[in-house]
Amino acid sequence: MRAAIFDSRSSTPGGWLFIEDIPQPQPQSGTVLLKVIACGVCRTDLHIVEGDLPPIQPRIIPGHQIVGEVLEGATKELPIGTRVGVSWMGGVDGDCWFCRHDMENLCDHPIFTGYSVNGGYAEYASVRADFAIPLPAGLDAAHVAPLLCAGIIGFRSLRVAGVERGERVGLFGFGSSASLAIRILQSWDCEVYVVTRGESHRGAAESLGATRVGNEDAKPPVVLDRAITFAPSGKVVLSALSSLRKGGVVAINAIHLDQMPAFDYDKLLWGERQIRSVANMTRQDARDFLALANDLGFRPRVATFPLEDANKALEAVKHETESGPAVIVL
C-alpha cells in the first residue's frame, strides 16, 4: 500500500514525510483493517514531524483523524463496510485506576493514533476495534475528518467547563476547535463572547454569529459563567479568569502552556472559581459529539490534498494558508 511515512532519522523541514510502498498491515486479534477514505491533518501532526513531540517510534505513519471503512476483522458492532472514525485516542489499557473510574482520557498507558502506532496517512490502517467509532450516515468523509480531533476536544472543553444552556461563555482564541464549539454553544442558546488576537480570527467569529468579538486587550462587557481558552498562553488564562463570576470555570484547551504568571488569589480565584485543563477525550465524548454534529449538520470548510501531497498539507497547516482544516483524501 502507499503510505506517507515520517522517519525521525531522515526527515527534513518541509520534506517531513516520504511516500512509500509498504506491506499492508496484517489483521490482529482485536483490530479491524480499514480502507482509509480520508484523514485530517492536525497541528499535533506538525508537532510530531517537527520533533516538538519526541518520537516514540523511529518510523511512523502519522494521522489521527481517520475516516475509513471496515475491510477485515469485522465484529457484530462493526460489520464489513461500516464507516468509522478513529481519533488520537487509539486505545487504553482498560485496567488502570483512571480507566476503572470512567476517566479513560487520563489512562496511564494510552495508545495514540499516528504517534505511538501507525495512523491514517495511508491507503489502509489497522486500528483497535473498540476505538473505531461508527459514524452517523449524514456526515461525509472529508468533512467529518477534522471533527475527529478539534471537534471532539472542543466539545470536551465545554463539558469540562460545565457549560449549561443559556449561559454566557467566553472563547479566548478562535481557531478550528473554537469555530466548531461556537456552533454547539449557539444550539444551547448560550451567549458567546470571543476574545482573540488576529483580524482574520475576529472576522471568522463575527461571521459565525458570536454575541460580541473583541481583541485580546478587550474584556468581555459582561461577567462570564464559563470560559474556554485555546491559546498556549498563561496570560490568556488569567484574562479569562478575570472575567468570571463566582463559581465560574475556565477550561484550558491547550496541550502546552508557556507559563502561568503569578496572580492575585483574593481577586481572581477566591469565590470558588476554578481553572481546569482538558486532556485528550473519551469514546463517549466522541460518540456524543458526532451525534450532535450530525444533528446540527456540521460541514466545516476543508482543503483537500492527495496522499502524495501530504507534505503540502502539513505546510498548509503550518502557515495557515488555507481557510479551513487540511484533509488528505485517499
Residues lying near Zn ion in the complex (CB under 5 A) are found at 42, 44, 92-93, 96, 99, 107, 149
Quote the least distance from Cβ 219 to Zn ion, whole Å: 30
Which of 42/251 has CB closer to Zn ion?
42
Which of 50/93 has CB closer to Zn ion?
93
Closest alpha carbon to 212 in 175, 182, 248, 249: 182
Which of 42/224 has CB closer to Zn ion?
42
Which of 96/292 has CB closer to Zn ion?
96
Quote the least distance from Cβ 87 to Zn ion, whole Å: 8
Which of 1/96 has CB closer to Zn ion?
96
Which of 95/206 has CB closer to Zn ion?
95
* Matching residue, cell 462587557: 221
Quote the least distance from Cβ 44 to Zn ion, whole Å: 4
Which of 107/281 has CB closer to Zn ion?
107
Alpha-carbon dihedral 6, 253, 176, 292, rounded to 10 degrees: 110
Which of 11/280 has CB closer to Zn ion?
280
Quote the least distance from Cβ 159 to Zn ion, whole Å: 18
- Here the cell at position 162 is 460545565
Quote the least distance from Cβ 64 to Zn ion, whole Å: 6
Quote the least distance from Cβ 153 to Zn ion, whole Å: 7
DSSP collapsed to 3 states, the chain: CEEEEEECCCCECCECEEEEECCCCCCCCCEEEEEEEEEECCHHHHHHHCCCCCCCCCEECCCCCEEEEEEECCCCCCCCCCEEEECCEEECCCCCHHHHCCCHHHCCCCEEECCCECCCCECEEEEEHHHCEECCCCCCHHHHHHHHCHHHHHHHHHHHHCCCCCCEEEEECCCHHHHHHHHHHHHCCCEEEEECCCHHHHHHHHHCCCCEEECCCCCCCCCEEEEEECCCCHHHHHHHHCCEEEEEEEEECCCCCCCCCCCCHHHHCCCCCEEEECCCCCHHHHHHHHHHHHHHCCCCCCEEEEHHHHHHHHHHHHHCCCCCCEEEEC
Quote the least distance from Cβ 93 to Zn ion, whole Å: 4
Q: Which amino acid is at 30?
A: G
Alpha-carbon dihedral 9, 10, 11, 15, rounded to 10 degrees: -170
Find the radius of gyration of the CA atoms of the chain.
20
Which of 194/317 has CB closer to Zn ion?
317
Quote the least distance from Cβ 70 to Zn ion, whole Å: 23
Quote the least distance from Cβ 330 to Zn ion, whole Å: 19
Distance CA 17, CA 120 (A): 13
